[in-house]
Amino acid sequence: TSFLTLDKLSLAYGNTVAVKDLDLDIRKGELLALLGPSGCGKTTTMRSIAGLMTPVGGRIRLDGADITRVAANKRAVGLVFQSYALFPHLTVFENVAFGLKLKGMRGAELEAKVASGLKSVGLAAFADRKTPELSGGQQQRVALARSMVMEPKVLLLDEPLSNLDARLRLEMRTELQRVQKESGVTMIFVTHDQVEALALADRIVVMKNGAIEQIGTPEEIYNHP
């Protein structure tokens, strides 16, 4: 059964159609990769799921509700940007606490929630550091923890590993997979790297020119490219 459904979704920038009549069913707890060359519509699709862009056609359903026109901050969809977008003047703790505070969480509940988020990404010992003191991989983990503590129904990651060097990329692949499986959160990540998609994803959606060219498990995609 489908948890997140894109139904005949069409997305455009003015007269430029970026995504056309896209149908996609995503299961709860799935780790899905959106794979394809630059310009094929991956980021645009993610933006629409996040609520940063209104479709020109079609619908988006999440957990039984039509969210096509629901505001971005009311969708329970988390977004981790390629740039991490951390606050450099704040500590790791304060970065992870930021969204929770906006929701009104305070005191012991907040401390416990942030501590558990940092523990889940292996950063418990870094709570009091400023983020520019951390490595790229550690900053990526802070961004991941910051989104995870909000308990999104879906977490979207835009090229999550692309800013890391080769060694860290391998390490973060394992880390991302572990956090996803342990939390059971439904996750969609964008990549143009086929090896990364094959290594990480439960299913891969291959996009081309704003449409789905192929969809399947890594085995299926690998055996029938």
Nearer Cβ to ligand ADP (44/138): 44
> What is the helix (H) or strand (E) element at residue 188, kind and residue range?
strand 186-191
Least distance to ligand ADP from the beta carbon of 6, Å?
14
All residues at 6 or more sequence positions from 137 whose CB lies less than 8 Å from its CB, including other chains: 164, 168, 171, 172, 175
Lay out the site mask for ligand ADP across 106-145 (x = CB under 6 A, - = otherwise).
----------------------------------------
Q: Which of 58, 32, 14 is nearest to 176 (CA)?
A: 32
CA 32 – CA 59 distance, rounded (Å)? 19
Residue 85 binds ligand ADP, judged by CB under 6 A: no
Residue 205 binds ligand ADP, judged by CB under 6 A: no
Lay out the site mask for ligand ADP across 31-70 (x = CB under 6 A, - = otherwise).
-----x-xxxxxxx--------------------------
Q: Residue 144 is encoded by which pair of tokens? A: 């991941």
Nearer Cβ to ligand ADP (135/162): 162
The answer to whether the beta carbons of residues 22 and 190 sit under 8 Å apart is no
Phi, psi of 126 (to 5 degrees): -110, 10
Q: How many residues bind ligand ADP, per CB under 6 A?
A: 11
Amino acid at residue number 153 = K
Residue 156 binds ligand ADP, judged by CB under 6 A: no
Nearer Cβ to ligand ADP (36/78): 36
All residues at 6 or more sequence positions from 223 whose CB lies less than 8 Å from its CB, including other chains: none
Nearer Cβ to ligand ADP (126/189): 189
Q: Which residues here bind ligand ADP, judged by CB under 6 A?
A: 13, 16, 18, 36, 38-44
